[in-house]
Amino acid sequence: AILSESVKMQPAERLKILLFLVNIYSSGCFRSSSINIGRRLIMGSEDIISFQNLNRRAMVTAAFGSSFFAKAAEASAKRGVPNKIGLVDASASAFDNEKTNVVRRNTNEVVSQVNGIRHKRLGGSDVIVSEIGLGTQRWVSGDFNGPDEKLCFKLMDRAILNDGINLIDTAEQYPIPSDNAHPEGLCEEVIGKWASLSKGRRNKIVVATKITGGTRITKKGIIEACEGSLKRLKTDYIDVYQFHWPARYTPQSNWGQSLEYKQEQEESDYRMVRGACSFEDQCEAMGQLLRQGKIRSWGMCNDNAFGLTVLCETAKRLGVAPAAAMQNDYSLLNRRIEENGVSEASSPLYENA
């Protein structure tokens, strides 16, 4: 009831009410997500409140009691107010939804259309991305025809300010190729510089960036790499944070050159010899960043159905929001995700990424 009434208040007052309720009633369960929840409330989200980062029904049950959502719906009905209080459970299966009050959000759900471009949900998160995005690998690079900063700004002006695109895909390793005059990280700096030119630009874009894969991925390394990207992007949060390629050996991490897994490489691959970061450590690091509000969602690149499934299931076991995205090669010529199980694993019925 208080949340429903808060819609009539100014954004700052609404945020105060929200943070008060979160801290009083959560007993610690939801406090860590207050930054992201507050951001959604201030931006006038269609939902009054969305528990974005904490997707486990057990936490809600512990904090509010198993009948919390039923009581909320009943109270709203009596007051003639639409029930918009819901738990986003990205890890719940389609079968669970028939038995619970959990609000199910499916990946690739078309949420809106801007200038003819569809905007879709990413995984079970509240991150909404344009179907077409800006790729930045060659921006400000050492390539002979790589666009310079001025041209990159024009590309973002047209795509984001005029043409309905909000997704920008980058990485801490970009540009490629890099050299002394075009160092790694420069792409993120250019994006951050453009976004800081005027108020409101940051809210118009969804930034997806990546930590370099292999031995760069450790629990400590993930946190440090994220902090570096935040600084270069001149922002306090990243919308989608991804592993550029896996910490472990897998044939898919070689940009899909092979689907054959060779067990003999488990003992010789540089990642395995030095001790690949465990799935638990990876998920715990992403969970920490989610709780701190430094990332809104996370995912992986150049991985396969095994990596997606194990990381998602590990995250659920640890009480962390599972991966929302899997970014792999896919084109007229490269259809490997249709062959290696990724399409099945990422279905809303299973990992919902």
The tens digit of pLDDT for each residue in 56-97 reads 344 444 444 445 545 555 655 555 544 444 333 434 333 334
The tens digit of pLDDT for each residue in 147-187 reads 999 999 999 999 999 999 999 999 999 999 999 999 999 99
Q: Report the alpha-carbon angle 21-82-94, nearest 5.
A: 85
pLDDT of 55 > 60? The answer is no
- For 20, the 3-state DSSP assignment is helix
* pLDDT band at 255; cut points 50, 70, 90: low
Q: Average pLDDT of the chain?
A: 81
| pLDDT of 77 | 56
| pLDDT of 73 | 54
* pLDDT band at 27; cut points 50, 70, 90: very low
Rounded CA separation 210/225 (Å): 9
Provide the annotated active-site residues: 174
pTM to 2 decimal places: 0.73
88 DSSP assignment: B
Rounded CA separation 204/297 (Å): 17
Return the H-helix or E-strand segment holding 60: helix 57-64
Return the H-helix or E-strand segment holding 242: strand 238-243
| pLDDT of 259 | 75
State residue 284 phi and psi, 5-degree precision. Answer: -65, -40
> Using CB atoms within 10 A of its CB, is residue 267 exposed (0-12), middle (13-18) or buried (19+)?
exposed
Contacts for 16 with CB less than 8 Å, ≥ 6 apart:
none
For the chain, domains (ranges, CATH) are 113-252+265-346 (3.20.20.100)
Contacts for 154 with CB less than 8 Å, ≥ 6 apart:
none
The bridge status of strand 128-130 relative to strand 117-121 is: antiparallel
Q: In this structure, what token pair is assigned to residue 106?
A: 């499916």
Count other C-beta atoms under 10 Å from residue 352's C-beta.
Answer: 27
Rounded CA separation 94/351 (Å): 11
Rounded CA separation 305/169 (Å): 22
